[in-house]
Structure 1
Amino acid sequence: MKNIISFLLIAASVFSCKAQITVESEETSERKISLTNPKLVVAIVVDQMRYDYLTRFESKYGNGGFKRMMQEGFNCKNNHFNYVPTYTGPGHASVFTGTTPNNHGIIANDWFDRTLGRTVNCVEDRTVEPLGTNSNDGRKSPKRMVSTTFTDENRLFTQMRGKTIGISIKHRGAILPAGHTANAAYWFDYENKGSGNWISSTYYMKDLPKWVKDFNSSNITESYFKIWDTYYDINTYTESGSDNNDFERVFKGKETPTFPYDLNKLKGSNGNFKIIAESPYGDNLTTDFTIAAIDGENLGKDDITDVLTVSYSSPDKVGHDFGVNSKEIEDVYIRLDKDLKRLFDTLDDKVGKGEYTVFLTADHGVANIPRYLESLNIPSGYFTSKELKTKLNAFVLEEFKTTGLIRNVSNNQIFLNRKKIKELGLDLTFVQQKLVNEIISYKDIYKVYSATSMSNNSFHNGIEHLLQNGYNQKRSGDILTVPYPGYIYYRKTGTTHGSGFSYDTHVPLLFFGKGIKHGETLQKTVIPDIAPTISALLGISYPSGSTGRPLGFVLD
């Protein structure tokens, strides 16, 4: 009996030791897993960056910004948006949700809401209060985005211990990337002669933290009311066209669109703080605030991964005003390259070299100014929503002997008065097709599709596929129009974006840092691939609506 008891005690002791070893092994394994993840993921979106800005201005870049990402990281050279429209709101949402507007619901920056009977902004939220301003520009949140982001999934995975902070001059560039669960999103109050503060909303917090208040009370922002001249001798800017031409916007108070620009002198006639956003100093200011956030929010200070999203908005502002071929846009990218170096040097110092992961992409590209293209005999031109609406109203009166069937024309889409169509006993599909047949006859229109065709067909390639990926059944219009390549809905100076053509879809995608291989590929990648790639790197769930695929060849 004693022998049996002794045997049992020895067996229990051995089992206990094995169990302890197993538990310790599991704990050690968990510690190893946590140590393999980066301390901080930095997600950079450059607003309105065509892919060829990487190659065209490469000789002007230093070694610490764009070139560092390419030399140390992975360059996806054939990266595209796979939907229409290519706007800022949908772009940021698609990068971080890993899907397209038909799923995440952000179909434009602003769109006509059939239920409300008015246009809504993609981050509008009248239920929250502004912080740092009295302006309605602070009444913003991500509530209209219906999918989670990889930033949300990281918060869920880490039991809300991993922080997420979103930063951008534009509210939508800060809010949509940061997702629904962010600790904070901060944007610049510059619209309608705003305060010049970095602001947020009560969606995130009850009051701005001390570090943000300290930044706002400093003289950093006002210090950028200064001369904007080219960083290098303007005569060396051989990658861009003439400085003085008829294609570019002229600031109020100047006679020509030429360097230098005295922002302090021009601010009174050009929106005060808005003119900082419309110069490269908006990027400088964004970097200043981002570096302050790294310290103020203690980002990347432990082994639980934090996420910092930064959207540089000023390239879009300058691009709209001066165009692809301008000296101004070349100077913006030369200076942005130096801002990236400043940010990466800070991350090396504050988080640790090799302890963070970065990706950089854009929310869309941009078209060359049509008048410039016309001067070179390249097909291009202009079309206006007002012109289209006038033609359609005349057609409706003649065809249906009534008025008021066209409710809204915006974002290359036409919204019909469905209530009136029903009252008149007309079939919606019939009316849609009649309008499609009419609009396709207009000389500047390339293609037209009805909502019914988007809903009832499956397109796998071409512009039709891009339209379908951008078509949201609840929010999009009844008719989708596509102007010819080079044709835009815009003013006659400056340019815009929004199409499914390569100048709007082809954008950079660079990865570098912890967990990233060194290399490059010409294999086609698409914007929704980014979020699942970062999710795979972190070992977290993909965003709820994700349709992209992880780019395994990027990960080490």
Structure 2
Amino acid sequence: MRLRLSTLALATGLATAAMASPALAQDAAPEAQATPQLIVAISVDQFSSDLFAQYRQRFSKGFTRLLDGVVFPSGYQSHAATETCPGHSTLLTGVHPARTGIPANGWMDPALARADKEIYCVEDERDPRSSSDKPVVSPVHLKAPTLGDLMKKRDPRTINAAVSVKDRAAVMMSGHDTDAVYWFGEEGYTTFLDRKVSKSVAAYNAQIASKVAAGAAEMPVPGDCARRDHATPIGDFTIGTYKFPFKAGDYKAFSESPRGDLATADMAVRLVDELGMGKDAVTDLLSVSFSSTDKVGHAFGTEGVEMCIQMNTLDTALGTLFDALDARGIDYEVVLSADHGGFDAPERQQLRGNPHAGRVDPSLTAAALEAEVARRTGVTVPSGHLFYGAGESGSVWLAPDLAGKNKQTVVASLLDVLRANPQIEAAFSHDEIMAEPMPEGAPQDWTDLQKVRASYVPGRSGEVQMLTRRGIVPGKAKPFKVASHGSPWDYDRRVPMLFWREGIQGFEQPDPVETVDIAPTLAATVALFAPAGTWDGRCLDIDATEADSCSS
């Protein structure tokens, strides 16, 4: 018989009493076996609280289980840099991007020998085999330990595994000390360059190859999605009617459609079986990041038939995973959240009562800003560029040969230009950001500067940070790229946080919480106690009885 969380809280307290030092504890007490056999940490890429609220009553498969658990509808990726890599870096480290060292999906290093000057967030750019087109994937830039890292430090028998379509999602959730990490490559699932794909994964890749070789017709439209099946014009193309057919041999179209989530669920089950996860008294950790909501959101926005098909498919994928774990008799605990939210195509927003939605002005590109600053200041540098970035990135990196008084002049002029632009909400210099203490308190009340501080990493973040106004979407619209995220607004920051374990007494708590609260909450679940200062977040009491799941 599986134990309820009230019993788990008792076991947690007993385990704490047995500790002889503040170091991470060993599970010495028999009562500590109340911990689950497996933690399943799920991220749904670009799954905003808005999408969750819109579809929660329509879910009928995997989500129904989670909705019977503990629901925090107002979780926050509290920082300003609401992108995939920094968002995933918070989920299982329990700290903001300012401490994970991941300020964005990529950052500029003007001194880098490569022509593009950009470093990918999960790239080891020091490896001579790494390039912009084919980075050598590595967790080298992640500065904080993940929960999986800490669990393996406590007991090396812990299995720490991760899977996603995206490499940066799998790497950021699993961390440094891993047993298996997979993401979707050019022809199926792949892993780190110095590791081999397992026999089971190779066999699954063969199955995928067969599916891709055959191609596929349009995906069916669930009944409740029919009302969303109509076109919205954007320039010379439309969105709102696509059903995800793909031509034979097109791996990208396969993985970037809702089918990518189905494949991720299948891969997660394969990892459980192949690695023997959840088979003994040592709790294992499986991280699963479903990427298709993000792929669909970028390509078609959030309000068309495309996203409706995706939400239905995601629900199916979750059901596949949970049913498989049930069939194996594993005692598991689930948390589901997201790396960030997202915004619909502004052209459709304008047709639906939001006249302020729009696309970023070309005057905010690096080239345009540089030309204006050069005209105002007369400053030039040997490299030919005063700065890099701006536009979509929101960050501006100064040229390495810009120094002294010229640097101060350029920064001051750039801030003047940005703050005068009607699309800019705020702009800050490095000195202004670093003078701000790390934010505390309710995340919905943070100022723009506090949001920026929480994701600012000196030496990686740009020396100037620019925030666009609500509803302004970066990038030009083109087919399969119409919407985005990355803003400091709640549609990008606010995400759901759901916890479930068999026997849990479910409840809903609307008070704002943070994604950095997930790691300390799960750590209490597995009776892992870390020294003060390990987390930026706090343990959430997910036991609705008089017991406290965070008691120590």
**TM-score, scaled relative to structure 1:** 0.84
Match of 1:482 in 2: 467
CA gap 1:394/1:139 in 2 versus in 1, 3 angstroms:
closer
In structure 2, C-alpha distance between the alignment counterparts of 1:141 and 1:221, rounded to whole Å: 30
CA gap 1:218/1:248 in 2 versus in 1, 3 angstroms:
farther
Q: Which among 381, 402, 408 is matched to residue 388 of structure 2?
A: 408
Range moving further from structure 2, 517-526 or 221-230: 221-230
Q: Does 1:213 align with 2:202?
A: yes
After superposition, the CA RMSD in angstroms is 2.8
Alignment of 1:351-390 (within 5 A): 351-352=329-330, 355-375=331-351, 376-383=353-360, 387-390=364-367
What count of residue pairs does the alignment treat as equivalent? 500
Q: Which among 321, 332, 337 is matched to residue 343 of structure 1?
A: 321
Amino acid of the residue matched to residue 550 of structure 1? C
CA gap 1:46/1:477 in 2 versus in 1, 3 angstroms:
same
Deviations 1:488-532 (A, max 9, x none): 212225200001101101111000016854211011101111111
Q: Which among 199, 207, 227 is matched to residue 217 of structure 2?
A: 227
Match of 1:82 in 2: 78
Alignment of 1:9-20 (within 5 A): none
Range moving further from structure 2, 514-523 or 74-83: 514-523
Q: Does 1:197 align with 2:188?
A: yes
In structure 2, C-alpha distance between the alignment counterparts of 1:344 and 1:175, rounded to whole Å: 23
Contact 1:241 1:327 in 2 (8 A): yes
Contact 2:361 2:423 in 1 (8 A): no
Deviation of 1:367 (Å): 1.0
CA gap 1:51/1:338 in 2 versus in 1, 3 angstroms:
same
Range moving further from structure 2, 139-148 or 451-460: 451-460
Deviations 1:27-47 (A, max 9, x none): xx9352341111100000001
Q: Does 1:443 align with 2:399?
A: no
In structure 1, C-alpha distance between the alignment counterparts of 2:260 and 2:343, rounded to whole Å: 22
Amino acid of the residue matched to residue 342 of structure 1? T
Deviation of 1:249 (Å): 10
Match of 1:124 in 2: 123
Deviation of 1:484 (Å): 0.7
Range moving further from structure 2, 299-308 or 546-555: 546-555
Amino acid of the residue matched to residue 438 of structure 1? V
In structure 1, C-alpha distance between the alignment counterparts of 2:379 and 2:322, rounded to whole Å: 62
Deviations 1:274-304 (A, max 9, x none): 1012211111111111111111111101110
Amino acid of the residue matched to residue 471 of structure 2? G
Range moving further from structure 2, 357-366 or 33-42: 33-42
Q: Does 1:328 align with 2:306?
A: yes
Match of 1:473 in 2: 458
Match of 1:52 in 2: 50
CA gap 1:231/1:373 in 2 versus in 1, 3 angstroms:
closer
> Counting helix residues as a fraction of each chain, which structure ranks higher?
1
Contact 1:104 1:545 in 2 (8 A): no
Deviation of 1:333 (Å): 0.6
Q: Which among 427, 436, 449 is matched to residue 457 of structure 1?
A: 436
In structure 2, C-alpha distance between the alignment counterparts of 1:459 and 1:149, rounded to whole Å: 21
Q: Does 1:433 align with 2:392?
A: no
Contact 2:43 2:338 in 1 (8 A): yes
Alignment of 1:241-260 (within 5 A): 241-247=228-234, 258-260=241-243
Alignment of 1:147-296 (within 5 A): 147-158=144-155, 160-189=156-185, 194=186, 196-203=187-194, 205=195, 207-219=196-208, 222=211, 225-233=215-223, 236-237=224-225, 241-247=228-234, 258-264=241-247, 272-296=250-274
Match of 1:3 in 2: none
Match of 1:18 in 2: none
Runs of at least 5 residues in structure 2 that lack an aligned partner in the other structure: 1-17, 19-26, 440-445
Amino acid of the residue matched to residue 533 of structure 1? T
In structure 2, C-alpha distance between the alignment counterparts of 1:60 and 1:151, rounded to whole Å: 33
CA gap 1:406/1:50 in 2 versus in 1, 3 angstroms:
same
Q: Which among 496, 518, 524 is matched to residue 484 of structure 2?
A: 496
In structure 2, C-alpha distance between the alignment counterparts of 1:337 and 1:248, rounded to whole Å: 33
Deviation of 1:185 (Å): 0.7
Match of 2:4 in 1: none
CA gap 1:416/1:230 in 2 versus in 1, 3 angstroms:
same
Q: Which among 540, 553, 556 is matched to residue 528 of structure 2?
A: 540
Match of 2:402 in 1: 420
Contact 1:396 1:405 in 2 (8 A): no
**TM-score, scaled relative to structure 2:** 0.84
Contact 2:257 2:292 in 1 (8 A): yes
Deviation of 1:114 (Å): 4.2
Deviations 1:290-323 (A, max 9, x none): 1111111111011101100000011111111111
Deviation of 1:457 (Å): 2.8
Deviation of 1:217 (Å): 2.6
In structure 2, C-alpha distance between the alignment counterparts of 1:137 and 1:298, rounded to whole Å: 32
Deviation of 1:135 (Å): 11
Deviation of 1:56 (Å): 1.5
Deviations 1:425-457 (A, max 9, x none): 43x445423321221111211111111100123
CA gap 1:398/1:246 in 2 versus in 1, 3 angstroms:
same
Amino acid of the residue matched to residue 215 of structure 2? F
Deviations 1:455-493 (A, max 9, x none): 123375222211111111121111111111000212225
In structure 1, C-alpha distance between the alignment counterparts of 2:371 and 2:535, rounded to whole Å: 43
Q: Does 1:69 align with 2:84?
A: no
In structure 1, C-alpha distance between the alignment counterparts of 2:269 and 2:34, rounded to whole Å: 25
Match of 2:6 in 1: none
Contact 1:231 1:335 in 2 (8 A): no
Deviation of 1:85 (Å): 0.8
CA gap 1:385/1:80 in 2 versus in 1, 3 angstroms:
farther
Identity %: 27
Q: Does 1:298 align with 2:276?
A: yes
Deviations 1:400-436 (A, max 9, x none): 21234522014101111243233xx43x445423321
Match of 2:295 in 1: 317
Contact 1:385 1:409 in 2 (8 A): no
Deviations 1:368-393 (A, max 9, x none): 21111222343011115774324422
Provide the secondary structure at the position in 2 that maps to 1:419: coil
Match of 2:443 in 1: none
In structure 1, C-alpha distance between the alignment counterparts of 2:235 and 2:33, rounded to whole Å: 51
CA gap 1:347/1:469 in 2 versus in 1, 3 angstroms:
same
In structure 2, C-alpha distance between the alignment counterparts of 1:551 and 1:248, rounded to whole Å: 47
